[in-house]
Amino acid sequence: MSGLFNEEPTVVVRRDRQQAQPSASKPAEKVYLDLNGADKLLENLELHDSPLLNAASELLSVLVTIARQGSPKNIERFRQQILDGISTFRRRGLYLDYHPSVIDKSCFVLCAAFDEAVLYTKWGQEGRWENYSLLSKVFSQRNGGEAFFVLLDKAREQPSKLVDFLELQYVLMMIGFKGRYRHADENELNEIKAETYSAIRHFRNEKPLLLPTTPELHESKSPSRPLSLTKLFLLMGFILSSAYAASEYWYFNRSEPFVAQLTMLNEVNMDLTNSNRDLVYVSTDDDLGLQSSDASSSDASQTEATTTNTVLKEWELLLASFVKLADAQSLATTLKRSGYDAFVKSTDERVDVLLMAGNDLSEAKKLKNEINVRFSLSATLRRAQK
């Protein structure tokens, strides 16, 4: 047995303690939230269907935490904050669609709930809250536990008008207000809660709790890279060259027929300019209203045809055309004084001044040029008409 306790020599192993090096982490940056306008947002926040509950939501949030919070550093200041909250609730209630008595009774039950919640805390008992209760300060009463349920019974007699006030009292009871039933059997208080809930339930529709849904995340796409300057200049050059080619193609197709017509017109003008010939219109027999004679006609007909052919060979100069007869006679008189046998011929539309030019075409042209030069006219040589 003694051999079991023989100890082997102890070997001392020295190890250096590795001191944990503090991680050189950067100090966390302070994040400041912009709370401007938060008071206004909370004031207009609507969490309930009852405007009365919405107006009292700030007081209710404080009432819920009284049982869990520690002793305030200054109980007088805490009492004053609650009184200020009651005053704010009363002021908001004046703008709601309620009778003023409903607002006063709501302030009463809230003060009773606060007094009871504080009185049954350790710091409330030590601070002698019962001597400076909210009911005694605002309503000069101390029987809040009894009056609360008296008001509840009266409100249940006309629930259609006071359903919001009933709901406020029900919320206060569910938070923990017991009043005169604090030291009594809780079954009776539970029955009152159930009856109050049934009265409220008749005028309220239950809203199912909405399950939170995870928003669908859209797949993000990487932004398109901008074109480099080289590609941008190449693209601009391609667009400009394409536009220039399209305009040239359109111009060529549209202008080719027009250019061809202008070329033909220039060629005709060159031919007329190079040749010193006058344009002479030779009237046909149809223009003059004449009919050719038949070869088998008699000698009298042959004589008439010969006379007609002779007439057709006569040339005349159309010197000018006038609208008024006096103007035509004045020009004819001027020509006669110069030795030209001019005469006037009237038609339905105008008055012409004519001059017989004989049978020789070359002599007739010379006469035409002579008159045009001497009298600055634009005479026209044509076949003589009857």
Distance CA 106, CA 60 (A): 12
Distance CA 115, CA 129 (A): 8
- Is 322 inside a domain boundary? yes
- Is 117 inside a domain boundary? yes
171, 201, 231 - which closes a domain: 201
- Report pLDDT digits (tens) over 34-49: 555 545 545 555 556 7
Distance CA 191, CA 86 (A): 29
CATH of residue 151's domain is 1.25.40.590
- Is 180 inside a domain boundary? yes
Range of the domain at 363: 311-383
More confident residue, 286 or 295: 286
Give the confidence band of 340 by pLDDT, cuts at 50, 70, 90: confident
CA-atom Rg of the chain in angstroms: 64
**% residues pLDDT > 70 (the chain):** 73
184, 201, 218 - which closes a domain: 201
* pLDDT average, residue stretch 205-216: 69
Q: What is the mean pLDDT of the chain?
A: 78
More confident residue, 240 or 283: 240
Positive or negative, the Cα torsion across 53, 54, 59, 62? positive
Choose the weakest-confidence range: 84-98, 278-292, 328-342. 278-292
- Report pLDDT digits (tens) over 217-226: 777 777 888 8
- Report pLDDT digits (tens) over 365-380: 888 888 888 888 888 8
Write down the pLDDT at residue 19: 47
Residue 150 has pLDDT above 70, yes or no: yes
Residue from 163, 191, 177 nearest 48 by CA: 163
Q: What is the tally of structural domains in the chain?
A: 2
Write down the pLDDT at residue 321: 86
Could you tell me if residue 108 is left (phi over 0), alpha (psi between -120 and 50 degrees) or otherwise beta?
alpha
* pLDDT average, residue stretch 189-199: 91
Q: How many CB atoms lie within 10 A of CB 315?
A: 21
Write down the pLDDT at residue 1: 40
* pLDDT average, residue stretch 110-132: 89
- Is 274 inside a domain boundary? no
Choose the weakest-confidence range: 74-88, 141-155, 282-296. 282-296
The DSSP string of 263-294 is: HHHHHHHHHHHHS-----BPPPHHHHT--PPP
* pLDDT average, residue stretch 314-324: 86
Residue 321 tokens, joined: 């055309």
What phi and psi values does residue 65 have, to the nearest 5 degrees? -90, -5
Q: Are residues 192 and 65 in the same domain?
A: yes
Residue 51 has pLDDT above 90, yes or no: no
- Is 88 inside a domain boundary? yes
Could you tell me if 112 and 135 are in contact, meaning their C-beta atoms sit under 8 angstroms apart? yes
- Is 218 inside a domain boundary? no
Quick one: how far is CA 32 from the chain centroid? 37
Q: Are residues 182 and 323 in the same domain?
A: no
- Report pLDDT digits (tens) over 161-178: 889 999 999 999 999 999
201, 235, 259 - which closes a domain: 201
CATH of residue 325's domain is 3.30.70.1070
- Is 379 inside a domain boundary? yes
Write down the pLDDT at residue 300: 44
- Is 369 inside a domain boundary? yes
* pLDDT average, residue stretch 271-288: 56
Q: 3-class SS at 345?
A: strand
Give the confidence band of 301 by pLDDT, cuts at 50, 70, 90: very low
What phi and psi values does residue 95 have, to the nearest 5 degrees? -95, 0
Write down the pLDDT at residue 288: 57
* pLDDT average, residue stretch 331-358: 86
Write down the pLDDT at residue 357: 84
Choose the weakest-confidence range: 29-33, 105-109, 194-198. 29-33
Write down the pLDDT at residue 20: 44
Residue from 164, 189, 49, 160 nearest 109 by CA: 164
Order of strands across the sheet that contains 315-322: 342-346, 351-358, 315-322, 380-383
Distance CA 380, CA 303 (A): 31
Distance CA 117, CA 94 (A): 27
